[in-house]
Amino acid sequence: MPAIARSEPFRGQGPCPLGVCDGSGWILEDESDEARSCECRETRLRRGRNRGVASVIPRKFQGVSFDRPPVSTEIAPMVVQFVRGWVDDMAANLAAGRGLWLMGDTGTGKTTLAMLVSKAALEDSRSVAIYSLPKLLARIRQTYDAEPGGDSYLSFFERLTSVDLLHIDDLGAEKRSDWVLEQLYALVNERYEAQKSMLVTTNLDPQQLEEQIGPRTVSRLVEICGEPLPLFGPDRRVQPHAVGD
């Protein structure tokens, strides 16, 4: 690597968490002007890609686990097994741009399983953006009113398309319009072309979803996520120990 000057620490990140570099993410060799990357650098870059997007697991789902209820007892075991396998092989799945698509009735555990996946990704220091679709669209609209130097549409879109995992809950829950179709297609297509993983939940089957968000967008979702994993049954929200949608 070419010689570089000693750089400033990552803005807002503080000293090296490993106590190895000077906080810049680079290690200067003692007897030369050469520098090599510190192990902390990739983790810091991933965190930087999360800045400005929602990446916090809601409190309701922070304690979820594959090994205890409701996941271990109340959600379709075949789907749970598949999702657990995806998480166990998460590094390879994210590297290949493979995602997950959870489909089914209200209150059958789609959101619970999806939050478990995002939680595992965050614990592995991956960059994750987590949104329900209505909130994501509202956040995109906010960028139109950004002050000069603020969070523009382009910068927010670039963060959404560059994070390791984009998690969208309630796909199809929005009111259909040309603007909505345009935003969804642009976002999904960008991640499709960049081979970036997506995690989506929806109450709609593929045909219904095509009618709601368009066949081009659904086709790309299938390429990214594979066929939807079905979750059907009674709404557990109206039963004791509800698991969430």
Residue 7 — pLDDT band, cuts 50, 70, 90? Answer: very low
Q: Which domains does the chain have, with CATH numbers?
A: 1-49 (no CATH), 52-238 (3.40.50.300)
Rounded to the nearest angstrom, the gap between the alpha carbon of residue 15 and the centroid of all alpha carbons in its chain is 27
DSSP state of 61: G
The predicted structure's pLDDT at residue 40: 63
Amino acid at 144: Y
Does the predicted TM-score (pTM) go above 0.95?
Answer: no
Q: What percent of the chain has pLDDT over 90?
A: 56
Is the CB of residue 243 less than 8 Å from the CB of residue 211? Answer: no
The predicted structure's pLDDT at residue 127: 92
Q: pLDDT tens digits, residue range 32-43?
A: 556 666 766 566
Is the CB of residue 95 less than 8 Å from the CB of residue 194? Answer: no
The predicted structure's pLDDT at residue 144: 85
Which candidate, 212, 130, 214, places its Cα nearest to that of 175?
Answer: 212
Give the mean pLDDT of 57-82: 92
Q: Which range has the worst mean pLDDT, 16-30, 173-187, 218-232?
A: 16-30
Residue 12 — pLDDT band, cuts 50, 70, 90? Answer: very low
Rounded to the nearest angstrom, the gap between the alpha carbon of residue 57 and the centroid of all alpha carbons in its chain is 11
Q: With left for phi above 0 and alpha for psi between -120 and 50, is residue 235 left, alpha or beta?
A: beta
Q: Which range has the worst mean pLDDT, 1-5, 20-24, 229-233?
A: 1-5
User: Within 10 Å of residue 96's Cβ, how many Cβ atoms?
Assistant: 11
* CA distances from residue 178 to 103, 168, 183, 207, 213 in whole angstroms, order as listed: 24, 19, 9, 19, 10
The predicted structure's pLDDT at residue 4: 36
Is the CB of residue 24 less than 8 Å from the CB of residue 9? Answer: yes
Q: Check residues 109 and 145 and name the one with the higher pLDDT.
A: 109
Q: pLDDT tens digits, residue range 174-201?
A: 889 999 999 999 999 999 999 999 999 9
Concatenate the DSSP letters of all residues of 118-158 into one string.
Answer: HHHHHHTT--EEEEEHHHHHHHHHHHTTPPTTS--HHHHHH
Mean pLDDT of all residues belonging to the chain: 83
The predicted structure's pLDDT at residue 66: 94
Is the CB of residue 206 less than 8 Å from the CB of residue 218? Answer: yes
Q: With left for phi above 0 and alpha for psi between -120 and 50, is residue 140 left, alpha or beta?
A: alpha
Q: What percent of the chain has pLDDT over 70?
A: 73
Q: How far apart are CA 90 and CA 185, in angstroms?
A: 25
Beta bridge partners of 131: 168
Which candidate, 243, 232, 230, places its Cα nearest to that of 103?
Answer: 230
Is the CB of residue 62 less than 8 Å from the CB of residue 49? Answer: no
Residue 6 — pLDDT band, cuts 50, 70, 90? Answer: very low
Q: Of 5-9, 88-92, 125-129, which one has max mean pLDDT?
A: 88-92
